[in-house]
Amino acid sequence: MLRTKRRWVVLLALLLVLMASVIYLSSVNIPVLEPKGIIADKEFRLLVTVVLIMSVVALPVFGLLAYIVWKYNEKNQIRKKYSPDWESNKYIEGTWWAIPTILIVILSIITWNATYALNPYNPIPSKNKTLVVQVVALDWKWLFIYPSLRVASINKLMMPVNTPVHFYLTADAPMNSFWIPQLSGQIYAMPGMQTQLYILANQSGEYNGWSANISGIGFAGMMFKADVVSASQFRAWASTTLLRAPALTIARYNNLIKPSTYVASAFYANPAPNIFNLTIDKYMMPNYHGAVQ
Amino acid sequence: MSEAVSELKVTNKLIAKYDKDTKTIFGFWVYLMTDCVLFASLFAVFAVLRHNTYGGPTAQGLFNLNYVMIETMALLTSSFTAGLALLSAQRKRVKHTLFWFGVTFTLGLTFLILELSEFSRFVAQGDSWRRSGFLSSYFTLVGTHGLHIAIGLLWMLIMMAFILKRGLNDTTLKRIRMLSLFWHFLDVVWIFIFTIVYLFGVLGV
Amino acid sequence: MLHVLDLMASFWLGQLNLKALPPNPIQWFGASLIILVPIMAAVLLTVTKRWRWLYREWITTQDPKKIGVMYILVAFGMLLRGGADVALIKTQQALSVGASNGILSASHFQQIVTAHGTIMIFFVAMGLMFGIINLILPLQIGSRDVAFPFLNATSFWLFFFGMVLVNVSLVLGDFAATGWLAYPPLSELRYSPSVGVDYWIWSLQIAGVGSLLAAINFIVTILKMRVKGMNFMKMPMFVWSVLGSMLLVAFAFPILTATLTLLALDRTLGMHFFTSGAGGNMMMYVNLIWAWGHPEVYILILPAFGVFSEVVATFSKKRLFGYTSMVWAIGAIVLLSFIVWLHHFFTMGAGSDVNAFFGIMTMVIAIPTGVKLFNWLFTMYRGRIKLDSPMLWFIGFVVIFTIGGMAGVLMAVPPIDFQLHNSLFLVAHFHMMIVGGVVFADFAAITYWFPKIFGFKLNETLGRWAFWLWLVGFLTSFIPLYILGFMGATRRLDHYSASLGWQQLFIVSGIGAALIGAGVGVQLLQFAYSIYKRKDNLDKTGDPWDGRSLEWSLPSPVPFYNFARLPEVTSRDAFWEAKKIHFKDNRKYEDIEIPKNTPLAFLIALMAFLFAFSVVWHIWWVATMALLAIIVGLIIRSMDEQTDYVLAAQEVEKLDKSHLKGARA
């Protein structure tokens, strides 16, 4: 009697927790599940597909566990079989080598195709012209250079909506990972090397970006805003910045390299040519004497 | 009756002893396998870094194949003489064993001295392990082998002392077997080093 | 003059100086705790006059059962230390929002996160695992000892001093602030100039060498020391799983040894393996460390699977279902675990073919794991299940491991991983695998085998309380982390802005951690109370759970020689079958060789510790002396050809009969 009562209390408590969670979750922003870029969207859809396929096996496991533990519990009074020496059955075992195998074959095909389709180096087809942005992870801030527009920014990534953006990434710092969850998955930015990433944001808005890989004491402050605006607003921003912002000279860049934490966003005009390549060369070329320190 | 029992006891003891020895030698094989993995890791690292000369010397510019050939000959011969030492030890010939171990030790020491003088020459001309990724991996791979050789030499000295003091008893014989396994193992590793580090290096493969 | 003094100081003390002492109150508190614990232990030993006892019974012992107990004691101590780290981490993450900076500096927080990971993996999970193996494995294969008892003691003491070195870093200097795998170039001298990373390297190095030696020992023990009649397919499943795990250690740990050495060479000798620039390659480190790190996960989980195989069969009073399948599954896991390491860094820019290959291989591991799960379920099917606390831990394991496993398959798909990598989703996943899988199994094992080692059972009521607190606390702590991962929260964050809306979930997660803490508290209480009330729970039969394998045929606690007469095995569940036919042993007793106690294992490990400590601080003269001392120790050991003593047959008979009498009384 007491046991059944306790069971109801537990069940009720679980229900309350579930309801509270649903209410809470519907009120907050969950970037990975609310994509605003076509890559993040495809990744999200893939995630849902895989979860559904896996539930085909996982849910029966939970069901089976509950059923078996209930039915074959020593204390359970119902009539049940007891076969202490039953230890193998070809067909039964064959079945559960087969079920996960079939499932994994299906998942493998999906994985193989998706990995090719969503390779971060794949250009995104679009009627709009692709914009190139160079990203340098510094101690501890992000530098974005727009070579074609001759502007640059710190911790603020301006992007035009519905336009593919082609990122080239490197670091003048320990390994970092460049991640804007609502727009696309992440990729490492490493010193002396260059990685690439394509993003297409299909909704305007301001999204959060992070470094996902620990890079020293200022790591938590490597947060930036990705501001997706209309094409005209973007053009306006670029031309104003080019006119008004201070120039990103080599001297100013060498100053930026120095470690600093929680850096406010800033815009620059006329970035010195080759900052990105010199930053890579610095680590890769013997006897490097370039201007970038 | 009691004689039979005591004889049985002796036999049992012998079997137990034999089991213990095979166990130890089997364990030593397992250890050698783990050492193999260690060297494999270092070889992999060398393979990745061998062209990262960063403006420093390349393998072609650095290595002198003739010199390395002499080192190789010394080590290969020492492996052969270590085999002879083991054969003599199994036949319980103390003097022969000591003689062949003496020869092995001399050859091993020669190898080590040659290697160290090569190292010091490189360092003296400014091509130390600090110079480039290639040189770091070179010194580490070859140096790790050299360190093993040094440990083997020390072990050999200790075994010679044991033979002198205690003769070729079962325990000593078991250890000599392991030492000789160890020495052959280092020989095999060296053949890989010779091929991958020096030969491929000089040929520019 | 001052210059000469400086030179002398740097010769005698290396880089060690007063600046090495802790800089702030929280660190002072930690440091004093670390100093206080050994002082209190020393006082206790002196007051109770137990120094000699400590030396004779523990420090010099070669008995795997005692060594096993010491492993588990150290692991529990470190569980508390790692748990204290969690308390700080959770407090910081609950408070450090927006304008507030919480209670820790960024660097201190990162050190704690690194220490938490390092300690929990190397000194808790590994310690519990090796402890249980030492306790049970020789008994299950009907052996009186391990293959190399001296080596075994050395392994333990290396593990022990590795642990000591991590904790010394709280008092002198600092610890790595790099995350538990210390990726370069962050872990290189350029970005981490303090001794922290060196502490990390050298404590793992000596503990790792200890693990490697232990693996060699157990491989030989299993392959060469099984009792007559126990062929491979008659070994208990725990033995199979340990064999798989130890083979993995033997193949994976040398890679760790090499990798740590290379990083140490970079830092101390100025080499360029993983540096940015000068021809170093940091991606190579990431590959190497995961070529060890991924097998390490299976090293931990395989023995856990083995424990559950024993527990489920015993508490269902039924044979393990699908034995052959289980063996094949272990084999498959062992092989596959070496070809999946790249899934830890899909985001490093490898080509689609490489990423897809490693992703698929990762998923393939789910097949043998799934098979094992189904086999356990069918072991219970048509059984008579007794829901004692080891079985509760098993059910908790199935639930958590299935959820965690699904999260794992998700992350095995490279494009999905791009969105989850290094986020708290990943953190939740691997905690579910390692805590829900490994630690739960270890707790089940401790409850299950406790009477065998100590002669009395643990209190069941408190055991149940501990389980429920752990389970509820664990789910409360880690389900929010999955959601936080989806929200974009990355791991190792010491601060975040308030607008993100993460704080509530971090607080919920902290409450869960507190519940787990309460669970650990109840466990400690359980030990204390069970010892206090041991007379109520004595195990007089030696077979308190109606067991199946050989260890239950022995009296509890197991005598130091394990088996007075070696059994012969004709079937899988050897003891279960023997019980059926009321087997009566009429064979004669025989002499038993038992290894003598020796302090050398302890001393050699102590010297290894001194070596490591002085390399961390660049005190080269001590390092040299310690190295020489190790060599001398080994030579002294090799000179001793009488390492065993003989326990005469009559003596064995006398002891055995008195044990039997005790059991009947």
Looking at chain C, the whole-number percentage of residues with pLDDT higher than 70 is: 98
Contact with chain B for residue C10, Cβ under 8 A? no
CB atoms within 10 A of CB A20: 10
Predicted local distance difference test score (pLDDT) of residue C504: 93
B13 pLDDT band, cuts 50/70/90, is low
**CB spacing of C224 vs B24 below 8 angstroms:** no
pLDDT (mean) for C159-185: 95
- Locate A149 and state its tokens: 């527009």
* Contacting residues for C409 by C-beta, under 8 A, at least 6 apart: A50, A54, A107, C362, C363, C366
pLDDT (mean) for C201-216: 97
Q: What is the mean pLDDT of chain C?
A: 94
What whole-number distance in Å separates Cα of residue C123 and Cα of residue C163? 7
Q: Is the pLDDT of residue C432 over 80?
A: yes
The candidate with the shortest Cα–Cα distance to B151, out of B70, B44, B45, B35, is: B35
Residue in B35, B133, B171 nearest the CB of C273: B133
Predicted local distance difference test score (pLDDT) of residue C26: 80
What whole-number distance in Å separates Cα of residue B84 and Cα of residue B89? 9
Considering the domain delimited by A131-284, tell me its CATH architecture.
Sandwich (2.60)
B4 pLDDT band, cuts 50/70/90, is low
A45 pLDDT band, cuts 50/70/90, is very high
Rg (CA), chain A: 27
Structurally, chain B folds into a number of domains equal to 1
Asked if C525 contacts C462 with a C-beta cutoff of 8 angstroms, the reply is yes
pTM, entire model = 0.95
Predicted local distance difference test score (pLDDT) of residue C581: 81
Q: Is the pLDDT of residue C276 over 50?
A: yes
Residue in C257, C270, C281 nearest the CB of B52: C281
Question: Domain residue spans in chain C?
Answer: 2-664
pLDDT (mean) for C239-265: 98
Report the gap between the CA of C216 and the closest CA in chain B (Å).
Answer: 6
Weakest mean pLDDT among A21-25, B163-167, C289-293, C343-347: A21-25
Strands A164-171 and A131-138: parallel
B9 pLDDT band, cuts 50/70/90, is low
Question: What CATH number has the domain bearing residue B62?
Answer: 1.20.120.80
CATH 1.10.287 occupies which residues in chain A? 2-75+88-117
* Contacting residues for C57 by C-beta, under 8 A, at least 6 apart: C66
B5 pLDDT band, cuts 50/70/90, is low
Q: For residue C275, which residues of chain B lie inside 8 Å, CB to CB? A: 133
ipTM above 0.90, yes or no: yes
Closest-approach residue (CA) in chain B for C147:
B23
A242 pLDDT band, cuts 50/70/90, is very high
Query: In this predicted model, what pLDDT tens digit does every residue of C105-152 receive, in sequence order?
Result: 999 999 999 999 999 999 999 999 999 999 999 999 999 999 999 999
Give C379-430 as a DSSP string.
Answer: HHTTS-B---HHHHHHHHHHHHHHHHHHHHHHHHSHHHHHHHTTBHHHHHHH
Contact with chain A for residue B54, Cβ under 8 A? yes
What whole-number distance in Å separates Cα of residue C383 and Cα of residue C317? 6
Q: For residue B55, which residues of chain A lie inside 8 Å, CB to CB? A: 286-287
Query: In this predicted model, what pLDDT tens digit does every residue of B120-132 receive, in sequence order?
Result: 999 999 999 999 9
- Locate A152 and state its tokens: 């640059």
Q: For residue B30, which residues of chain C lie inside 8 Å, CB to CB? A: 216, 219-220, 250
- In the three-class reduction of DSSP (H, G, I as helix; E, B as strand; rest coil), residue A48 is classed as helix
> Greater confidence, B4 or A1?
B4
Residue type, B64: N
Predicted local distance difference test score (pLDDT) of residue C661: 74
pLDDT (mean) for B57-84: 95
Weakest mean pLDDT among A69-83, A117-131, C72-86, C453-467: A69-83
Weakest mean pLDDT among C18-22, C487-491, C510-514: C18-22
pLDDT (mean) for B144-151: 98
What whole-number distance in Å separates Cα of residue A238 and Cα of residue C63? 75
Asked if A155 contacts A197 with a C-beta cutoff of 8 angstroms, the reply is no
- Locate C338 and state its tokens: 């070496």
**CB spacing of B33 vs C265 below 8 angstroms:** no
Q: Is the pLDDT of residue C612 over 90?
A: yes
What is the domain extent for residue B55?
A: 2-203
pLDDT (mean) for B61-74: 95
**CB spacing of C220 vs B26 below 8 angstroms:** yes
Q: What is the mean pLDDT of chain B?
A: 92
The candidate with the shortest Cα–Cα distance to C255, out of C348, C373, C338, is: C338
Q: Is the pLDDT of residue B1 over 50?
A: no
Report the gap between the CA of A169 and the closest CA in chain C (Å).
Answer: 11
Q: Is the pLDDT of residue C664 over 60?
A: no
Weakest mean pLDDT among B20-29, C138-147, C419-428: B20-29
Which run of H or of E encompasses B189?
Answer: helix B170-192
Query: In this predicted model, what pLDDT tens digit does every residue of A186-207 receive, in sequence order?
Result: 999 999 999 999 999 999 999 9
What whole-number distance in Å separates Cα of residue C208 and Cα of residue C170? 21
Contact with chain A for residue B57, Cβ under 8 A? no
Closest-approach residue (CA) in chain A for C476:
A17
Predicted local distance difference test score (pLDDT) of residue A205: 96
Predicted local distance difference test score (pLDDT) of residue C213: 97
Weakest mean pLDDT among B99-113, C119-133, C550-564, C571-585: C571-585
C58 pLDDT band, cuts 50/70/90, is very high
Closest-approach residue (CA) in chain A for B56:
A286
What whole-number distance in Å separates Cα of residue A292 and Cα of residue A281? 9
- In the three-class reduction of DSSP (H, G, I as helix; E, B as strand; rest coil), residue A45 is classed as helix
- In the three-class reduction of DSSP (H, G, I as helix; E, B as strand; rest coil), residue B146 is classed as helix
CATH 2.60.40.420 occupies which residues in chain A? 131-284
Q: Is the pLDDT of residue C665 over 60?
A: no
Q: For residue A195, which residues of chain C lie inside 8 Å, CB to CB? A: 348-349
Chain B: residues touching C (Cβ < 8 Å): 9, 12, 16, 19, 22-24, 26-27, 30-31, 33-35, 37-38, 41-42, 44-45, 48-49, 52-54, 56, 129-134, 136-137, 139-140, 154, 158, 162, 169, 171, 175
Q: What is the CATH number of domain A2-75+88-117?
A: 1.10.287
Considering the domain delimited by C2-664, tell me its CATH architecture.
Up-down Bundle (1.20)
A206 strand-pairing partners? A227
Q: Is the pLDDT of residue C158 over 60?
A: yes
**CB spacing of B48 vs C253 below 8 angstroms:** no
- Locate C281 and state its tokens: 């390659």
